[in-house]
Structures are given as structure tokens and as C-alpha cells.
Amino acid sequence: MQVLVLVLVFGAWSPLTAAAQDEAVSLQDIEQWILTGRYGDALEQLDARSGQADDAGALRLRVEALTSMGRYEDAARAFDGANAAGLGLGVLRGRVALLAGDREQAGRWFEEARAARGPDGLVAAFELALLLWERGEIEEATRGFYGMIDAYNRGAADTAAELLAVGRACQLLGRDDPELFKDALRAYDEAVALDPSWPLPRVRIGELFLEKYDSSQARSSLADVLRMNPRHPEALLAMARTMRFDGDPRAQATLDAALDVNPNLTPGRVFQAWLHLGAERFREAREEAGKALDVDSGSLTARTLLAAAAFLEGRDEDFARLRDGVLADNPRYADLFNDLADASADNRLYPQARDFAAEAVRIDPKSWRGYGLLGMNQLRLGDIDAGRANLETSFAGDPYNVWTKNTLDLLDTFGEYRMVESEHFEFHIHDREADLLAPYMVELAEEAWTKLSERYRFEPPTPIRVEVYPSHADFSVRTVGLAGLGALGVCFGPVLALDSPSARQVGHFNWGGTLWHEIAHTFTLLATDAKIPRWFTEGLSVLEERRARPGWGDDVQVGFLTALRDGELLGIAEINDGFVRPKFPNQIALSYLQASLISEWIEENYGFGAIRSMLAGYRDGKSTEDVFDEAMSLSLDDFDERFFGHLRERFGGAMAALGDAPSEPDEEDQDGGEGGPSRAPTRNPFERREPNLEQLALAAMENPDDFRIQMTYGYALFREERFAEAEEPLVRGRDLFPEYVGSGNAYTLLAEIYRQQEREEEAIEALMTLVASNETAWDEHLALAELLGAAGREEEEAEVLERSLYISPYDLGVHRRLAELAFASDRFALAVRERAALVALDPPDRAVALYELALAQHRAGRQESARRTVLRALEVAPGYDPAQELLLELVGKGS
């Protein structure tokens, strides 16, 4: 349907007649208004010509203005009494009928236009072929499309409108010969060259690029159109789709703008419905699709959406009826199943997505999109070989699809990965870091398995496949097919993918927390057959992180408190929107935290049994209303009231200390997505470029309960190394908002002050408090470990160092110290792990590292390993005497 709407406009764009140009009110002025989006003004002017029958030029402009505003019935009436075919407007009349959903009448008008052999005869032939295509008569339609190419080759397609039809024909034929995608682009470009002021070819170019996952080119082309006409409905819609593709939060506003101009823009309504569906707002999705069907009752896309909603809501009979209805109208409509596959995958129903995609390629063996979806979902389910084969089929049919290409390129690198198996997991780690990472990952994952299976009373099928990517771009490709994803990890149910700690700068994330988070998803997704809402699975995953280790999981930041204060946090009925349709960049991060606090609150007040009961409810297909009612006897409104009341009570003091200042996005975690927000360190929000200390001192004195002022003043003094004076405002800031552990936090600064003043115990206490909440503060972990070591608190030192490994396992000094501490306390198994890590890090002194590993193995009673390792040490340094002595001892020839 979208195609027809878009094609509509070009029919109205042929040169105006000489007669029209002679009139007092210039049709060229009206044309210009339409070009710049002044549709209402154009109509008004055309109406002002009352008493004067529209000639062909005026009629075209009137119909164009009316259709741009969605007034399809008025547009159809405009033709009353006119011999459209005779005027060369038969195609336009047919398209108006199509927009109103009357396909039969449209066919008749197209046929009449073709028979009249007028200026739109060639385009009429294309439109007839397109109608066949929509009915699934693909072979017949294909013949018609090739007819367009013949016309082009004969030089018969020489108007912009005809070139546009040629381009569209090539685009549709691209499924047979992918080279034709290039020809489509060429034809569109030629149409642009022939009539640079006509926006539609540029819209088509944008759509073609977006179809091939090249959003930057799509944006560029669409931006050209919108610069000229910011109210062009089709361009706005295509731009909204592009923005959605890029995760740009302006997508919704752009779509709203399109629908504001043309409320009957059927593809826009359907797109809106898909957005609702993606946010698990089924009722709104159905309503929006209903609006589309009010305009065009035969819309395949709108009916597909309704089928998807029915499927996701578990309304099996409705689903079957809708599915069968679509197939009755077009038995080859593979996009029914492709869209169902996409919707299923969006809702984490990967097995169902795979099965729908298989159905798509069954009814249309040339649905390259279907093969791509089939392959991707097979990969998500761990069926790598079949997934690769289907992606290769998809790519052979559509080699411009960067999504498929990237994934295949990534699969080509799988030979560089090593599989490491444990009791419940199968890790795939890049060969160059498998030796280092595997022991820690296996240990942590198995610990998570034990704890989570006990807590959830559920055991997912095993093995769970964990893919660890040293390149964030590879992780991103694995996840969404394109680079640029902000997330750290992703869970497809039985398959997890995550960034290796080497994929990001030290201090940007805690890989241990991320792994735990994703494993928790595996439990909640598989325990509910993936019917758990996004907010709940994320909330539980963050909650489980928080329970796993001190400091893991999201922390309360300033932005969260200001959002709470300003009523910007979403209620339980809308919280999914915060994940899938964020209205501002930080909303995803806030939603993660809020969802985790909701989960935490439920557990605290109703016990973990309530959580399990909720999971069971979702698994059984119950709505959130029913789930909350059954688990807690609370309506959603009551829940919101109680939960927000709890938040206000818990954080009331800190909120008051924030004063009226607006939230500063820089203070917050910016990235987000599956796997939790990135914890990249951000700018210190309390830093002022040229602070005026006198003014700050005065402000601090006058506002003793203002967190920001106290911190800003304290930091300014700290920077001046006036440590003794800085302590007081920093202590005040700390006490006003003790949960604040973000950039420029009081604990880090106070610890430094205490160190300078040789108040080591207080420095330790400050850093202890910090690392109990901040799992990415690398420098602070190391500083704390050093202080603990110096204080002789070696057990705690080892514990802090151990936790620092989840931030970065690449620091030789940390492993060395841990090994020494383990050795000194006769914990030889731990010493072996640490010495092995040092070897894996390829230290400068390899012979020594191997020798020390061998020694640890020897002391741990692992003589055979020790023998092999010491031989490796001697391979590097045959004359290294400590290694020689150890070897001699191991073979019974010691001195």
C-alpha cells in the first residue's frame, strides 16, 4: 500500500499547460505552494477559481493537494465529470481509488488509461503489474515489470514519472537479479536529474537505501526533500523509519508530523502500530491498525500487523483467521511471515521467529528477507551451520544487504574462536584471549547458574552458548547485524553474546556484571517462554546483578532523582516505552534502574515467591494487570502510587538536596540497550572551568543543604589542593546524597584528601563505600587494594583485587599481587589461576611467568601440569636456573 501512496504524487507533476500559465492566478504559484507543503493554501487558491472548471493542470494540483492531506474521497470527487483518461489523468484517478482501498475500481481506471494510450499509458501498465504483484500473481507481475525495462531500453520511458516507475520495477525485480537494485537507483537518479524539483524520486532513493540498511544515505536523500518541503508526508514517514532504524528518539515526532499533515497515510498508521507493538502496547497497536483499515480495508500490511498482535497476545483463533485472510488475498505474501518473524524476534520469541521465516521462504522461495530472518534467528538459537547456510542464500539473492554481509563476515571469523565447555555453558572466546578469560567466565557463569536456578526454581536447557567478542563492532553485528549498538551484552535465550573486557576502555563496564545480567535473562526468558515484558526481564537482571556482588547493577544518579522529582518516570503501564521508544537519550538508563527498583520493591514487600508467580503468569499469557493483581492484589494504578511513594520516601532527602536544578544528562549513563547501560565515565558535573572560590564559598554557606553547590565548592577547593578546606563541603555533599557514586563523587575526592593527610583508615572507609556501589571505578579499586595491603589487611586486599578483575583482567600487576597473596596464604589453586592468567597475558618475562606457574602447580599438587609448564619455561630460557632446579626436582634429580 505504501508503494501506491508514494507513487500517487508523481502523476500530478507534469508541466503545466500553457493555458494555465496565462491565467491571472498562476498555477505555478500554486505548484510552488504544494512543493513547499502549503497544501491548504493551494486548495484555497484553487477553490477561489470557482466557476471555472479545472483544466488538466489545475485538476492535477487539486488532487495532489487533497491526497497529500489525506482527503481521498474529496480527491476522487474532483474527477467527477472529467474524462480523466482523456486528460492523461487516468493513472492519477486509479491511485486515488487505491488510496481509498478500492482496488477493483483502481484496476479499471488503470486499464482505461492504458487503453487510451495517453501520456500516462506506460505508467498505467506498471500500475496494473503492481496490482498483480499485490495479489501474489508474481510471474505475471514480473512480466509487466520487465516491460518497463524494455520501454526504458527502447527510450520510451523518458519522463520523470516513467523513470520513477522503471526504478520501482527494477527494485521489485531485484529479487531475481540483485544487479537491478543498481538500475533502480540509476533510474531514480535520472528522474531526479530530469525534474530536480520533484521530491518523489528522492523519497524513493531514501527508501531504497533504507531497505538496504544504509541509513546514512537514506537520511541524506530524505533530508534534501524535507529541506524543500518539511511537510512532505511520504518523506517524513521515510525519515521516521530511518530514524527508528538508527535508534534516533526523534522518530516518533517525525512520524507524528507526517500523520499531522496526512492523518489517512495508511503506511504511517501501520508504522505507528508497529511501534506500539514493539513497545508491547497491543491495544494501541490494534487501534492504530484499525485506523489504517478504516481508510484501506484491504491493506495487507495493516492486516499483517493485526495478525502479529493476535499472535503475540496469544489469541490463536484471531491469529489464524487474520493470517488466512491475508493469504487468501495474496498467497505469495511472504512479508506476512517475515513481519511475524520480526515481531516475534522483537519480543524475544526466537524459535517462533525462525519458524515464521521458514514459512516465508516456503511460500516464496525468493524471499531473501525471509532467508535472512531465518538465518539470523537460527544463529540466535545457536544453530550456527544452518544459520550460515540461510544467510548465504539470502546474501546471494540480495548482496547489497549490509546486515547479512556483516553477519557473514563475522561468521567467517568464528574459526578464530575457541570453544570452552563447562557443566552448563559453552563459551566461544577469541583464541587470543581464551586462556585468560575462560577460567574467570566459567567460574562466574557456573556460580550464576547455581544461584539463579535455585532462586527461580527453574533450569534452562543446556548448554547455554556464550559468545564473547573482543571487538564491539563484531558484538554489535552479531546482535543487530550492524555496528553501532550501544549495549554491552545481549541474550537470545539459549545464546548470549557480550563484549569482551578488551572491547571497551577500562572503567567503561564491568564484564562480570554484564555476564551475570545476561545469564539472568536466560532464566527469565526461558522460564516464561519469552513472554515476559521487557521492563521486567531487565529489572530482574539488574536486580540479580546487584545481588551477585557489591556494587554491581545500576546506581541511583542525579538524573533519576530529578526525573522522579519532576514526574518524568513512567508508570508501570508505560515503562516499556522507556526501553523501546525513549523520548530522551537518558530514558533507557533511567528505565533500567527504575525496573530494577520495581523488582527489588516487589521482592522486599511480597517475597521472591511473588516474582516467581508473576513469571508464571506471564508464561501463561496473562496481562500485566492480571499478573499484578494475582501476585500482589494491586491494580496498576495502586502499584504506581505505592511504588512512587516508596521512592519518594527513600530518596526524599537526596531529592531535596538537589534543589530545583534541572537534570544534567552528562552526569548520566548515556548508552543503553539490551545488557544494561554502558558505564562509561562521564564529565565531572561539579567541575567549573574558572571557579570563583569566593562566590562558591558564599553560595555554599547560604545553601548548606544543596548537594550540587557543596560538591562544586568542594571540588573547586580540591583542585586548588586546599584539601583541609575541601573536606567539609565534600563531607556535606556526601551526606546529602550518599548514594551518589558517579563522576566527581565525594568518596573518591575524600579518599585522596585522607591519603594526602595520612589518614589511611578514613581513606579506606571512603573507598570501601564507593566500591560497594560503583562496579567500574577501576582506579579506586586499585587504590583501595593498595591501602589495604599497606595496612596489612591482605584478605580484604585480595577480595578487592578479585573484584577489580571483573572491570579489567588485563593488568599484570593485579594478577601478580593476587598470586603472591594466594601463595602466601597457601591457596595454591588460586595461585595457579592467577599465574596462568599472567602467562595468558603474554608478559614480558615469559620464562619467569611460566616458571612461577609451574611452581604454583607443583605446590598445588599438580605435578604433571608443573612438569609440562616448566618445560615451556625452559623452551624460552633453557638456561634459566630456577626453572632448571624445579625440573630436576620434579624428575627426582634435585640437589
Which residue, 177 or 842, is less far from other proteins as judged by CB? 842
Cell representation of residue 484? 553501532
**416 is an interface residue for other proteins by CB under 8 A:** no
Which residue, 321 or 846, is less far from other proteins as judged by CB? 846
Q: CA 17 to CA 28: how far, in whole Å?
A: 10
Distances 141 to 11, 146, 169, 218, 808 between C-alpha atoms, Å: 21, 9, 10, 27, 59
**423 is an interface residue for other proteins by CB under 8 A:** no
**Closest CB 482 distance from other proteins, rounded Å:** 20
Which residue, 432 or 650, is less far from other proteins as judged by CB? 432
Residue 4 neighbours by CB distance under 10 Å: 22
By CB under 8 A, the residues from 689 to 708 that bind other proteins are none
**431 is an interface residue for other proteins by CB under 8 A:** no
The residue count for binding other proteins (CB under 8 A) is: 34
Question: Which residues make Cβ contacts (< 8 Å) with residue 581, sequence separation at least 6?
Answer: 249, 252, 275, 278, 279
Handedness of CA 584, 586, 588, 593 (dihedral sign): negative
Which residue, 650 or 867, is less far from other proteins as judged by CB? 867
Single out the segment in contact with other proteins by CB under 8 A; choices: 276-284, 661-669, 726-734, 872-880.
872-880
Site of grid cell 581513606: 763
Please, where are the H alpha helices in 686-824?
A: 693-702, 707-719, 723-736, 746-756, 760-771, 778-790, 794-804, 812-824
Over 378-402, what HEC string results? HHHCCCHHHHHHHHHHHHHHCCCCH
Q: CA 244 to CA 694: how far, in whole Å?
A: 49
Which residue, 484 or 878, is less far from other proteins as judged by CB? 878
Which residue, 82 or 877, is less far from other proteins as judged by CB? 877
Beta strand 489-491 pairing with 417-421: unpaired
Single out the segment in contact with other proteins by CB under 8 A; choices: 223-231, 370-378, 685-693, 804-812.
804-812
Residue 463 DSSP code: P
Cell representation of residue 244? 527508528
Beta strand 425-430 pairing with 464-469: parallel
Options 619, 846, 859, 862; binder of other proteins; rule CB under 8 A: 846
**Closest CB 811 distance from other proteins, rounded Å:** 7
**Closest CB 70 distance from other proteins, rounded Å:** 51
Single out the segment in contact with other proteins by CB under 8 A; choices: 11-19, 213-221, 587-595, 879-887.
879-887
**877 is an interface residue for other proteins by CB under 8 A:** yes
**Closest CB 874 distance from other proteins, rounded Å:** 5
**863 is an interface residue for other proteins by CB under 8 A:** no
**885 is an interface residue for other proteins by CB under 8 A:** yes
Q: CA 856 to CA 437: how far, in whole Å?
A: 19
Single out the segment in contact with other proteins by CB under 8 A; choices: 245-253, 371-379, 400-408, 873-881.
873-881
- Count of residues in the chain: 895
**567 is an interface residue for other proteins by CB under 8 A:** no
Q: CA 370 to CA 333: how far, in whole Å?
A: 11
Binding track, positions 825-844, relative to other proteins; x by CB under 8 A:
----------------xx-x
Residue among 192, 8, 216, 209 at smallest CA distance from 94: 8
**Closest CB 556 distance from other proteins, rounded Å:** 27
**483 is an interface residue for other proteins by CB under 8 A:** no
Which residue, 508 or 531, is less far from other proteins as judged by CB? 508
**868 is an interface residue for other proteins by CB under 8 A:** yes
Which residue, 139 or 881, is less far from other proteins as judged by CB? 881
**26 is an interface residue for other proteins by CB under 8 A:** no
Report yes or no: 559 and 665 within 8 Å, Cβ to Cβ: yes
**Closest CB 853 distance from other proteins, rounded Å:** 16
Residue among 303, 259, 291, 296 at smallest CA distance from 100: 296
Residue among 871, 807, 808, 805 at smallest CA distance from 833: 805
Options 461, 645, 813, 878; binder of other proteins; rule CB under 8 A: 878
**Closest CB 878 distance from other proteins, rounded Å:** 6
Report yes or no: 737 and 729 within 8 Å, Cβ to Cβ: no
Report yes or no: 310 and 282 within 8 Å, Cβ to Cβ: no
CB burial class (10 A; 0-12, 13-18, 19+) of residue 36?
middle
**Closest CB 887 distance from other proteins, rounded Å:** 6
**848 is an interface residue for other proteins by CB under 8 A:** yes
CB burial class (10 A; 0-12, 13-18, 19+) of residue 247?
middle
Say whether the peptide bond before residue 494 is cis (omega within 30 degrees of 0): no
Options 488, 515, 847, 860; binder of other proteins; rule CB under 8 A: 847
Options 621, 810, 820, 865; binder of other proteins; rule CB under 8 A: 810
**871 is an interface residue for other proteins by CB under 8 A:** yes
**Closest CB 812 distance from other proteins, rounded Å:** 8
Options 607, 724, 845, 861; binder of other proteins; rule CB under 8 A: 845
**888 is an interface residue for other proteins by CB under 8 A:** yes
**Closest CB 589 distance from other proteins, rounded Å:** 21
Binding track, positions 500-539, relative to other proteins; x by CB under 8 A:
--xxxxx-x-------------------------------
Options 393, 576, 808, 857; binder of other proteins; rule CB under 8 A: 808
Residue 133 neighbours by CB distance under 10 Å: 20
Which residue, 641 or 842, is less far from other proteins as judged by CB? 842
**779 is an interface residue for other proteins by CB under 8 A:** no
Residue among 270, 269, 250, 247 at smallest CA distance from 260: 269
Grouping H, G, I as helix, E, B as strand and the rest as coil, residue 428 is: strand
**Closest CB 437 distance from other proteins, rounded Å:** 13
**875 is an interface residue for other proteins by CB under 8 A:** yes
**Closest CB 856 distance from other proteins, rounded Å:** 19
Single out the segment in contact with other proteins by CB under 8 A; choices: 45-53, 498-506, 563-571, 656-664.
498-506
CB burial class (10 A; 0-12, 13-18, 19+) of residue 864?
exposed
Which residue, 749 or 839, is less far from other proteins as judged by CB? 839
Site of grid cell 640437589: 895
**Closest CB 824 distance from other proteins, rounded Å:** 24
Single out the segment in contact with other proteins by CB under 8 A; choices: 168-176, 278-286, 513-521, 880-888.
880-888
Report yes or no: 175 and 368 within 8 Å, Cβ to Cβ: yes
Q: CA 679 to CA 773: how far, in whole Å?
A: 13
Binding track, positions 125-154, relative to other proteins; x by CB under 8 A:
------------------------------
CA angle in degrees (0–180, nearest 5) for 326-332-334: 80
Q: CA 680 to CA 412: how far, in whole Å?
A: 30
Options 802, 811, 834, 852; binder of other proteins; rule CB under 8 A: 811
Single out the segment in contact with other proteins by CB under 8 A; choices: 268-276, 354-362, 590-598, 882-890.
882-890
Which chain residues interact with other proteins by CB under 8 A? Answer: 502-506, 508, 808, 810-811, 841-842, 844-848, 867-868, 871, 874-881, 884-885, 887-888, 891, 893, 895
